[in-house]
Structure formats: structure tokens, C-alpha cells
Structure 1
């Protein structure tokens, strides 16, 4: 079984596995400036809410090492992508370290580096805890449908929803993952399939539009997806196509689970209607590689995410435990537990 990390801190630079090049090549980027980190986030060389948050934290460290204005670096990194709440959560943690600091510059660099490393290692521990909590939800033999990519490539290591599949496999459960290709950027076909092949986990790639048919034909036991932001109501923003999948799961009586660390839960956002939805370049739809597949002049709408209403979600698995409806009560309790308070 092969293992890898998509993010590694080397003391003076941030090393990222360039997800745009998978599966054709395994290429690592070495970044030494915050603007390079912001570009990597914006251009999706690094993607997945937890990975984005960790990368941004190290972007602040790079700014401090270069003696740059941290407020400017913070603003640059915040503007890189709007939907994933982990980006802002991680930058807020870093800001609490540097804001109002008046000591020696080198001591600040060390304090920021320590905080960024803590964010990264907390992510790994949280992912493993999510997988352990989810074991009770997975039959000993399970067909699992997964959307997008939520594994080691989307986090610092292990992953959230795909991490659940990995930990179930490592625990001896006979799992088979059906992977939505996840258009338009094909994170499922390119990234999730690459990860599961590396890990030796049985899987099958399917077209996004085949999910209902696969549920009908093969008897899917559960759907598990990640999240980029979870509102206080339980409404969940995730990669475009997740909402369609939740509707198909409800029709077929298939449990639909969301997996995410509590850092993805945004209790300040009351419902999914208040979650900003990123819209991306039309070229992602109009072209397949260099080839235009949409007629010139045809309008394009390309949202990167959609919002799945809480009533379609069977449970939300976090590192602090499993939240069940009503989420307005269960999510705050788990957030408090994760922060060291009473549930």
C-alpha cells in the first residue's frame, strides 16, 4: 500500500503535489512566497477545503520569513477562493498569532510556523478520527458511492469521506467504491481513482449521470461525500453534483453521509442560502483539454459548488463524533466538544 502527502513543509518552502498533473505525472511544486500559494489555491494545484486551509497557513509563514506585510498576505490568500470555510478558519488562527505582535521578527516567524504545523497535524488526526467514528456506519461488505475527491489529495493526509473508505478497508471491511467522475474537472476520475489505485482499494469509475442507475442496479449501501462549508442548519456546500446525488440517494433509500472536520462547520452561517458559491471560468465547460466542445457564443454557467439541504443528509461525521438531525443542536455540541468543551 502506497502512502503520500499532498502538503509538506520543508522549513523554508511549501511543497505541494500538483493535482492538475495527476494521473499523467506526479509533480511537486516548491513555493516560497504567499502569492505563489494563493495562485496554487486559485488554480487548483491544491484543492479540498482542509488542504486549502493548511496551505494558506503556510503562505502566511512564507510572508513572515520574507519580511512582508502580513495583512497584505492575509488579504491575498483570503481572496483566492470564496466557498471553503477552512481557508478563513486557518487564516483567522494565523491572524491571532501575528495581529498586534510587537516582539522580535524571528520569534514571530517561529510562532507562525508552529501554528501552521499544528493546523496540519490536527488535520491528520481529525481525518483518522472521522474514519474511526464512521466505521459503525459501514457494513462489513459495502458498496459505497463517492463524489469528487476527499482523500489525501484534498487534506494533509488520509482524507475525510475518502478517508472513511480507506480506514474501513484497513479495518478489514470488504469495501468497493463507485467514484463519480465529477465534472467538469474530473476530480473523481483523475484523483480519487488514482488514490484508491495507489492504496489498493477496489473501485469503479462511473459517469456522474450514472449514479441513480448504479444505485438501482448494484444496491449501493451508502453515499459518503465531503464538504467545503456546513451551515448551522446542516445545509452543506460541496462540489457541484452533490445535491443531485443526494436526491438520487433519497429516492433509492440509500443513506447519505457527509464527512468533514468541525473546522468546516460554520455556525455563523445560518443556512445554505447564505453560503457564497464560487463561479469558475467558462472554459472548464467549453473545452475538453485544448478542444472546444461547446459552440462558440453559447452561454455557460459554471458554479463550482452546490448546496445539499440538511433534510437530505442522514448524518454528518466529524472528528468529535457523528451529528444527527436536528443539526441546529447536534453540530454546535460537536464543535464545542472538538474545542475542548462539553458537548
Structure 2
């Protein structure tokens, strides 16, 4: 069952998750900004299976918690993990495998045509490098976000939703590849279609910094009552609870580095506020430091402040001011 959110909590500020994006074609999905320049998005591979890239199609939305007020960007390149097996390949029996065997590789990268400008509502998120066998974040808090469907036969969310997550027992995982590559998590809200590609977020209690720990690609113990019009799934059994399957980007960090040509530090180092009020970020192109004044933080996810956003609108590149 591929993966919206029923029973989620509305995000109150667009600065809370400035790395969040929404894919609007070929299907509704989520994603995360992992680099601003060059501009790279991390999402699920099944979200781009039928993608046709056209230079004038603006299908990656970002910069606002409000679906109708987001900015839009065009896609230049889309790359699925080389071991991912698509639906078309399974249907034509090119690969003798079932869908479960390819879950650890259901991850993809999207490069945008133009760099993204960092501001309070737009920024990258560092990839978590925490080992699944070590408690590197002993007091960490996990959650996920999405603009998917809000219930069975209901529309997608107009405002970004979030829900806390709890790691689940790995006993369901089938082998060491799963144990290494997949995070299973339960959530307070039910996830649905349209939330695929959305991030599993981990936030350190010590630094209050978000890291990308997973990419949503499946909901286990679930089925679609109407597969052709999927919105939110039903429970497979009254005895089981939904399990959300997230691919760990850290398990594929070498592949991500190879495709994006970004360094390990550029992908994993967080952005840090300096004592003088300026902000430090690892440059994605040269690993050099870039700074800006305190009036425009590059990492707004750590500050519960309502800001006014200046962003490039979908049409014409004009500047439009949108209150949060």
C-alpha cells in the first residue's frame, strides 16, 4: 500500500518546516529540500514513476503551509534509485520480485531548474546520520508532515499537517537489508495517499534542530477499498495497527552524493546560528560558509516566530508578499 493524513494537526507557521515541498504531478506527493543551490529534492521513487519533464511545467510547490499560496518550480532532472523496481516493470515481469522487496529502494532525487533562495520559509534540511543500532539521539522527538488526503473520499489538505511518530518494533522487517534501510513508525494520525515522499523528522532535544531521518513510501497493514480512487486506506485487520514505512536516506548517502555531486558535509551538516546573530550554512557547491543578517534567518525551523514571507510567485518571477 503506497502512501495524507487523517486526524493530523495543522501547522501554524510556514517557517516551521521550510524544507517541505509538495509534488503536484504526476501524483500528489511530499518531499524535502536537501540542497538550495544546486536545488535538490528528496522524495519517493514511486512518486515520479510516470513523470514527464517539460521545461515550462511548474510542479514542485514550496514556501508556504497553505497549498494555494505556495511558490512553484520546474523540474530539470529526476533520478530514481537504480535498484528500484517500478510498477510497469513488475507488470511486465521484467523482474521476478514482489513489491515488498523493493521498498528499501523506493527513494528518488529531483533537481529543479533554478536555485532556491533561502529565507524564513524556504531552506534545506540536513540528512540524519544516526545509526539504527545506536541511541545517538536519546531524547529525540520524531514526527512527519504532509498535505495528502484528509480522509476516505475526502480532498487533500489545504494546510500542511503534522503528527508525532513512534518507532515501531523491527520484528516485522524481513532481513538485514530492511533493518538497515527502513524505519517503521506508528503515528498519532493516519497517513494516506498524497503523503508519500514526505519526511520522517527527528529533532534533537539538545539542539532543537530538525534532521531528515526517513522518506515515506508505504503504509503497511492497510488496503485500498477503491484502488482507482485511493485517498486514505482501511485497516487490513482489527488486530493490527498501521505501520508507516520510511526509507532511511543515510542508507543511500553514497548514491545521493554521487547523483547530486554534493559532499557528505553539505548534505548532513546543520545550519547553526552564530553568537553575533548571523547564520552559518554549509554551501552546497563549495562547502564554504555563507552568512546573512539576523533579520533573515536561513534556518527558521528552530524559531516559533510568525514572519511575513517575500517569495517568487509561480508566474513571471514577480515578488508577492503573503502573510503567514
Q: TM-score range by the shorter chain?
A: under 0.3
Q: Which has the higher strand share?
A: 2
- Normalised to the residue count of structure 2, the TM-score between the two structures is 0.28
TM-score, normalised to structure 1, is 0.27
- Structure with greater Cα Rg: 1
Of structures 1 and 2, the one scoring higher in RCO (CA 8 A, sep 6+) is 2
Greater fraction helix: 1
